[in-house]
Amino acid sequence: MKLNADEITSVLKKEIEGYGAALTVDEVGTVLEVGDGIAQIYGITNCMAGEMLEFSNGAKGLAFNLEENSIGAVILGEYIDLKEGDEVKRTGTVMQVPVGKALLGRVVDPLGNPVDGKGPIVTDTYRPVESAAPGIADRRSVHEPLLTGIKAIDSMIPVGRGQRQLIIGDRGIGKTAIAIDTIINQKHSGVICVYVAIGQKGSTIAGVVDRLTKEGAMDYTIVVSAPASAPAPLQFIAPYAGCAMAEYFMYKGGHTLCVYDDLSKQAAAYRQLSLLLRRPPGREAYPGDVFYLHSRLLERSAKLSDDLGGGSQTALPIIETQEGEVSAYIPTNVISITDGQIYLEPNLFFAGQRPAVNVGISVSRVGGAAQIKAMKKIAGTLRLDLSAFRELEAFAQLGTELDKATQAQLDRGFRMVEILKQAQYKPMPIAEEVIVIWCGGGGKFDSLPVNQLAAFEPKLLSHMRDQFPEILKEIDDTGSMTEETEAKLDKAVEDFKKDYVSV
Amino acid sequence: MGQVKKRHPASNTYARALLEIAEAADEGDAFADQLTAFATALESDRQLRAFFESPKIPRGDKKSVLERSLSGKVAVPVLNMLRLLIDKGRQTLFIEISDCFGEILDQARGRKHVQIASAMPISGSARQSLVTLLAERLGGEIVATETVDPTLLGGMTVRFDDTVIDGSLRTKLKYVREAMSTPRLGRNLLG
């Protein structure tokens, strides 16, 4: 296409003329003091709570404290070149972020600016960062599964679309891994994912983005990045921004998943702001409204009623504990807000049980309603087997002579624990999960040595995929197994076991 | 507009009290002039300010010096307030009180302070019509302060209270630049 210089000039002229006439009328105030990401502002007496402000260096701010003679504002951006006496403009709007399909596959900061070097984000749709959660009449109960692709979770701690499921545990034992696997597993489910990284190392976030790209998960994922180097106000606002981006799709009838990694860092950032704004400190020096900080965020996750399009927003908040201390302030708060928690334990992790989910104390309060029939049926047996196993495990360590029944129960337990192990970045289709757990619960693995299960399982599954795709398809399509199918499965597994020669 | 500082809450209280006395005697403007004169003296003369504010100099000395130099030149209530401030150790608030007094008085009289900044000095007739226009819009008397700010490039800005009316070329250019660097949907140079 040939570019005509005159055409460009005329278009530009038109653009410039449009700006010639208008006078701008602004309300401005003055910076009294500035520092540590907050500013005290004099003037702008009509300013509203939560209103966005604009500083003379172009940085945006949020009006937080409205006091008799001044306004306490947080600065979302650079504050080093701001000084006393600088002008602050009211914008008359609340903070909003760009939303829409243009964001998919992008890494953005909490203000919606791209940080991945892939050019500008072109969208004309925006959503306020803080918005009210859907009301009671707008919701319906959770009834569709959100599959994580992790056997231990999909079987015993199922997550439904619209549920808030907390992932809690000490540092470095696989909290993020569960969330990332869940995102990867949404590849064919049409669920749009938002991964909000708060207060993490920049290198960690880059690693996550890299992994998601490799797995092809960035096509349906938005990453909101507020690394440890970002100012506290940005870390504070990041989950709300991510939530707004997901909400857009939810209200359009889509299914979304929000991962907040992690909310303890967000609470710490909010504590910093509150203390600098001289709000009174409470327990653990958190401000009084730290519960509301998380409850208003997580309440925005919902399963919408059919009238509203039936969209959903599932939340996977992550909380980091110190030395397994779940009774600290922030963990108890978030545990009480969410619809259940996945509890990870260092002991299990270092014993090689990965994902290190403690299925005994992890719960899902609503996910059961969303589980497929086939899984619900076998998960009950699994749960019983495991709890019986835990009771007996202590005996086994003593090396005492055990009666046959007890020994059998123990053997079953060891195998159950073994099949719940799963490699990272290897989420499984639900049908395959069902088959593995069905085999375990049915005692199909009892004749195999425990240490060979890890090698046997993938071979069995690939055999099933190749020879009996109709069984997998039936589970996928109907969500349950008929008796004939079970019989067929039984025979297939037994035959395979006979032919199986361990390497 | 001068630098805005956080004021001591007592300044406002002192100023209001003095204004009530002044209004009763119908001498508000005279009081304001005297306060401003003394405040200016304090601001410009470091020695005077040091004498007035230093805690080392006994209160009695300060008061007697003030009485000798000011009696007859300022109204009695103003002098009394100075005495009171010294007794209470609040001398440092004087300049703030003077500013507050002026503001409250202006408010009561319906006077509006307007800062006009322009890229070039404004001619007399243009200035006159601007002030008339502002008086019409804002209501009340206009007290205009003019400054020349070449960085505006062209046009002018008018500022009163918290409001800024910006007609400067600098701001317009800023908007043009923003508009041109923002990607938009549905508009394409190539048609």
- Mind listing the pLDDT tens digit for each residue in A155-203? 999 999 999 999 999 999 999 999 999 999 999 999 999 999 999 999 9
Judge whether residue B94 has pLDDT over 70: yes
In this prediction, residue A18 carries a pLDDT of 64
Best mutation target, A26, A41, A53, A89, to test chain B (most B CBs within 10 A)? A26
Strands A107-108 and A221-226: parallel
Model pTM?
A: 0.87
| Nearest residue, CB atoms, B176 vs list A19, A32, A123 | A19
Q: Within 13 Å, how many C-alpha atoms sit on residue A217's CB side?
A: 26
B164–chain A Cβ distance below 8 A for any pair: yes
Query: Is A365 among the residues known to form the active site?
Result: yes
Contacts of A90 (CB under 8 A, 6+ apart): A26, A27, A28, A29, A44, A46, A47, A51, A53, A54
Contacting residues of A for B7, CB less than 8 Å apart:
69
Measured in angstroms, the CA of B181 and the nearest CA of chain A are apart by 10
Closest-CA residue to A461 (of A447, A481, A444, A479):
A444
Beta-carbon count within 10 A of A170 CB: 17
Mean predicted confidence (pLDDT) in B52-78: 87
A60's CB contacts (< 8 A; 6+ apart) are: A52, A53, A54, A75, A76, A77, A95, A111
Search chain A and give the residue with CA nearest B164. A26
Q: Where are the alpha helices (DSSP H) in A216-300?
A: 232-251, 263-276, 290-298
Q: Per mean pLDDT, which range of B1-15, B85-99, B119-133 is the poorest?
A: B1-15
Q: Nearest-CA distance from A33 to chain B in Å?
A: 9
CB distance from B5 to chain A under 8 Å? Answer: yes
Closest among A334, A131, A340, A147 to A246, alpha carbons compared: A131
| Nearest-angstrom CA–CA distance, A303 and A162 | 4
Q: How many angstroms separate the CA atoms of A493 and A442, rounded?
A: 11
Gyration radius from chain B CA atoms: 23
Beta carbons of B4 and A85 less than 8 Å apart: yes
- What is the average per-residue pLDDT within B134-139? 87
Q: Which residue has the higher pLDDT, B129 or A400?
A: B129
* Residue labelled with tokens 């260096």: A57
pLDDT tier, B1 (very low <50, low <70, confident <90, very high otherwise): very low
Give, as one character, the DSSP assignment of residue A452: G
pLDDT of A502 strictly over 90:
no
Going by pLDDT thresholds of 50, 70 and 90, the confidence category of residue B2 is: very low
Residue B4 pLDDT > 60: no
Judge: A32–B6 Cβ closer than 8 Å, yes or no: yes
H or E element in which residue A203 lies: helix A202-214
Q: Could you name the CATH architecture of B9-107?
A: Orthogonal Bundle (1.10)
Shortest Cα distance, chain B CAs vs residue A147, angstroms: 36
Q: Is the dihedral of CA B72, B78, B84, B86 positive or negative?
A: negative
Contact criterion met (CB < 8 Å) for A124 and B184: yes
Is the pLDDT assigned to residue B113 strictly greater than 90? no
Q: Of the spans A24-33, A95-104, B52-61, which averages the highest pLDDT?
A: A95-104
Picking from B164, B182, B189, the nearest residue to A26 by CB comes out as B164
> Would the pLDDT of A2 be above 70?
no
Please answer yes or no on whether B184 and A19 come within 8 Å at the CB atom.
no
Q: What is the pLDDT of residue B28?
A: 85
B113-120 mean pLDDT: 90
What is the chain A residue with the closest CA to B2?
A85
Integer CA distances (angstroms), B29 to B26, B96, B108, in order = 8, 17, 11
Question: Once rounded to an integer, what is the mean pLDDT over residues B116-128?
Answer: 90
With contacts defined as CB-CB under 8 Å, which chain A residues touch B159? 28
- Greatest mean pLDDT range, A266-270, A468-472, B93-97: A266-270
Please tell me what DSSP assigns to residue A367: G
The C-alpha atoms of residue A123 and residue A348 are separated, in whole angstroms, by 46
The structural domains of chain B, with segments of one domain joined by +, span 9-107, 111-181
The tens digit of pLDDT for each residue in A218-250 reads: 999 999 999 999 999 999 999 999 999 999 999
Beta bridge partners of A108: A114, A224
Query: What does the alpha-carbon distance between residue A187 and residue A194 come to, in Å, rounded to a whole number?
Result: 13
ipTM of predicted assembly, 2 dp: 0.70
Residue B178 at interface with chain A, using a CB cutoff of 8 Å: no
User: Tens digit of pLDDT for each residue in B34-51?
Assistant: 998 889 988 898 888 888
Q: Quick one: CATH architecture of B111-181?
A: 3-Layer(aba) Sandwich (3.40)
A173 phi/psi in degrees, rounded to 5: -125, 25
C-alpha dist (Å) from residue A400 to A45, A413, A415, A416, B6 = 79, 17, 20, 22, 79
- Give the B window 10-39 contacts with A, CB below 8 Å: none
Mutation target among A34, A42, A53, A113 for the B interface, most CBs of B within 10 A: A42
pLDDT at A450: 92
Helices A373-398 + A404-419 axis angle, to 10: 120
With an 8 Å Cβ cutoff, is B7 touching chain A?
Answer: yes
Query: Whats the size of chain A, residue-wise?
Result: 503
Q: What is the pLDDT of residue A135?
A: 95
Residue B188: band (very low, low, confident or very high) from pLDDT cuts 50, 70, 90: very low
Cβ–Cβ gap B190/A3 under 8 Å: yes
pLDDT of A387: 85
In chain B, which residues have their Cβ closer than 8 Å to the Cβ of A26?
163-164, 166
Chain B residues within an 8 Å CB radius of A57: none
- The active-site residue, picked from A139, A365, A383, A465, is A365
Write out chain B residues lying below 8 Å of A42, CB-based. Answer: 4, 6
Write out pLDDT tens, residues A60-83.
999 999 988 889 999 998 888 999
Residues A47-70, buried b or exposed e (16+ Cβ, 10 A)? Answer: beeebbbbbeeebbbbbbbbeeeb
Mean pLDDT of A403-431: 91
Rounded to a whole number, what is the distance in angstroms from the first to the last CA of chain B?
A: 48
Residue B181's pLDDT band, with cuts at 50, 70 and 90, is confident
Distance CA A461, CA A500 (A): 13
CA–CA separation, A429 and A156 (whole Å):
16
Residues 85-114 of B with CB under 8 A from A: none
Please state whether the peptide bond connecting residue A262 to the residue before it is cis, i.e. omega within 30 degrees of 0.
yes
Q: Which two tokens stand for residue B155?
A: 């046009």
Mean pLDDT computed over every residue of chain A: 92
Among A136-140, A261-265, B60-64, the minimum mean pLDDT is found in B60-64
CA-CA distance, A412 to A429, in Å (whole number)? 24
Which residues of chain A neighbour B190 with C-beta distances below 8 Å? 1, 3
Chain B residues with CB inside 8 Å of A121's CB? 183
Q: How far is CA A95 from CA A242, A313, B84, B181, in A?
A: 13, 21, 49, 21
- In Å, how far is B90's CA from the nearest CA of chain A? 21
Task: Tell me what the mean pLDDT of segment B178-189 comes to.
Answer: 65
CB proximity B165 to A under 8 Å: yes
Residue B18 has pLDDT above 70, yes or no: yes
